[in-house]
């Protein structure tokens, strides 16, 4: 028997839900998976053009698994949270090598793939295979926290446990593909974080937060902590042929695995930058030219970036070719670059607007 919550939600979805998103066409586990990973902490409108370009370049999991990681990162550039792209690439290789190129239909097997958690695995099972599985992404957490007036921040174990219990209880046996899309749509378009449109909500009659006039209290907020401020020099080293020196970042951490500009300790003064480049990179440089600095915010700190151009006047040989390489701008822009670095290499004067 269909849960009343699910029944009302499905009736609403038939009339008001989103039925024509790109990953709804030619629906399969690969396309659902890529869309789910892209949609993590990213709005649908932002994801759509990235998804379409990604599918054009990597139409199958075999194409993705066989591609160089730099190619994958370049098609992710600007979408943020780059660990998602690296994990996507690793998981594609796992699907090909361990599962013969076919996504498993078992949630636990899906969770064995890099970057796939409980809710993402359930979404793939429900959306691609039509099998009953409860999801609990950010939108669903908000809907259920309000409907059941579950206090507390969903990042806390006890709160998350209660929300999973509600998610399991409401997920129907029939039309599970539509239901999972419906509850995500409700959170994204009606039960929004701020100014939810409660009058348009199909389940408002049973919503405890609405009945109490306390929708703003649910879900509870993450305990606030001041973000630290950091500063760095971003060095645009340019040789006589117009090539730029790029440095691959370590595989883990911020911008992991992406190509970026070399960084220098902010303790160096502008007059010390040429000497610092010679000491750290073996490059003889001319006088520095400062570019307007700007601040880029990450999830857990603010980074003040001070860009500087330095013409290289002598030897351009690099000792670590796996980590450092000289590229013309058009070649560099074809790689996976963080959005601020891409902006610096295209329109340095505009980078301060990021």
What pLDDT score does 61 carry?
A: 98
Better-predicted residue by pLDDT, 318 or 339: 339
- What is d(CA 295, CA 291) in angstroms, rounded to the nearest whole number? 13
Structural domains in the chain, sorted by start: 4-217 (1.10.340.30), 229-353 (3.90.79.10)
What pLDDT score does 315 carry?
A: 78
What pLDDT score does 20 carry?
A: 92
Residue 323: pLDDT band with limits 50, 70, 90 = confident
Beta strand residue intervals within the chain, DSSP E: 229-238, 244-248, 259-260, 263-264, 289-290, 294-297, 302-311, 324-327
Q: Are 207 and 198 in contact (CB under 8 A)?
A: yes
Q: Is the pLDDT of residue 347 over 80?
A: no
**Cβ-proximal residues to 138 (8 Å cutoff; 6+ apart), any chain:** 41, 187
- What is d(CA 53, CA 10) in angstroms, rounded to the nearest whole number? 31
What pLDDT score does 1 carry?
A: 38
What pLDDT score does 125 carry?
A: 97
Better-predicted residue by pLDDT, 101 or 78: 101
Based on the residue annotation, tell me whether 36 is a catalytic residue of this protein.
yes
Q: What is the pLDDT of residues 119-152, one digit of tens each?
A: 999 999 999 999 999 999 999 999 999 999 999 9
Mean pLDDT of the chain: 92
| Best-predicted range by mean pLDDT (33-37, 222-226, 257-261) | 33-37
What pLDDT score does 300 carry?
A: 86
- What is d(CA 190, CA 199) in angstroms, rounded to the nearest whole number? 9
- What is d(CA 327, CA 56) in angstroms, rounded to the nearest whole number? 26
What pLDDT score does 348 carry?
A: 57
What pLDDT score does 200 carry?
A: 97
What pLDDT score does 322 carry?
A: 78
What does each C-alpha distance from 306 to 178, 272, 309, 348, 351 come to in angstroms? 49, 14, 10, 11, 10
Q: Which of 67, 21, 61, 73 is nearest to 44 (CA)?
A: 21
Ramachandran class of 282: left when φ > 0, alpha when ψ lies in -120 to 50, beta otherwise = left
Mean pLDDT along residues 305-313: 92
Q: What is the pLDDT of residues 265-274, one digit of tens each?
A: 999 999 999 9
Q: Are 130 and 152 in contact (CB under 8 A)?
A: no
Q: Is the pLDDT of residue 185 over 90?
A: yes
Mean pLDDT along residues 339-348: 84
What pLDDT score does 225 carry?
A: 84
Rg (CA), the chain: 24
Q: What is the pLDDT of residues 30-42, one digit of tens each?
A: 999 999 999 998 9
Q: Are 95 and 65 in contact (CB under 8 A)?
A: yes
Range in 83-97, 118-132, 133-147, 320-334 with the lowest mean pLDDT: 320-334
What pLDDT score does 350 carry?
A: 45
- What is d(CA 220, CA 245) in angstroms, rounded to the nearest whole number? 46
What pLDDT score does 352 carry?
A: 42
Considering the candidates 36, 52, 238, 278, report the single residue annotated as catalytic.
36
Mean pLDDT along residues 140-167: 97
Full-model pTM: 0.80
């Amino acid at each position: 028997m269909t849960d009343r919550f699910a029944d009302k939600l499905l009736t609403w979805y038939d009339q008001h839900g989103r039925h024509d998103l790109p990953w709804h066409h030619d629906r399969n586990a690969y396309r659902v998976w890529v869309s789910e990973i892209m949609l993590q902490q990213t709005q649908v409108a932002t994801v759509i053009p990235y998804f379409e370009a990604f599918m054009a370049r990597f139409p199958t999991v075999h194409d993705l698994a066989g591609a160089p990681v730099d190619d994958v990162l370049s098609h992710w550039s600007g979408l943020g949270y780059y660990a998602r792209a690296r994990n996507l690439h690793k998981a594609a290789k796992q699907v090909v090598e361990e599962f013969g190129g076919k996504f498993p239909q078992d949630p636990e097997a899906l969770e064995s793939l890099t970057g796939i958690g409980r809710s993402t695995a359930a979404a793939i099972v429900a959306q691609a295979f039509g099998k009953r599985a409860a999801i609990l992404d950010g939108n669903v957490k908000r809907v259920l926290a309000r409907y059941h007036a579950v206090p507390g921040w969903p990042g806390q174990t006890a709160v998350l446990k209660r929300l999973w219990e509600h998610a399991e209880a409401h997920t129907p046996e029939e039309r599970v593909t539509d239901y999972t899309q419906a509850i995500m749509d409700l959170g994204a378009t009606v039960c929004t974080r701020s100014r939810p449109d409660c009058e348009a909500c199909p389940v408002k009659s049973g919503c405890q937060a609405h009945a109490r006039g306390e929708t703003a209290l649910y879900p509870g907020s993450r305990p606030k902590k001041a973000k630290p401020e950091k500063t760095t020099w971003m060095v645009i080293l340019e040789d006589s042929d117009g090539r730029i020196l790029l440095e691959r970042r370590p595989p883990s951490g911020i911008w992991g695995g992406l190509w970026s500009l070399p960084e220098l300790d902010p303790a160096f003064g502008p007059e010390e930058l040429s000497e610092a480049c010679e000491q750290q990179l073996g490059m003889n440089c001319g006088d520095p030219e400062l570019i307007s600095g700007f601040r880029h915010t990450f999830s857990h700190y603010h980074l003040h970036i001070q860009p500087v151009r330095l013409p290289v006047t002598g030897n351009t040989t690099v000792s670590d070719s796996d980590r450092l390489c000289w590229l013309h701008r058009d070649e560099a822009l074809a790689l996976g670059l963080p959005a601020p670095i891409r902006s610096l290499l295209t329109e340095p004067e505009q980078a301060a607007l990021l």
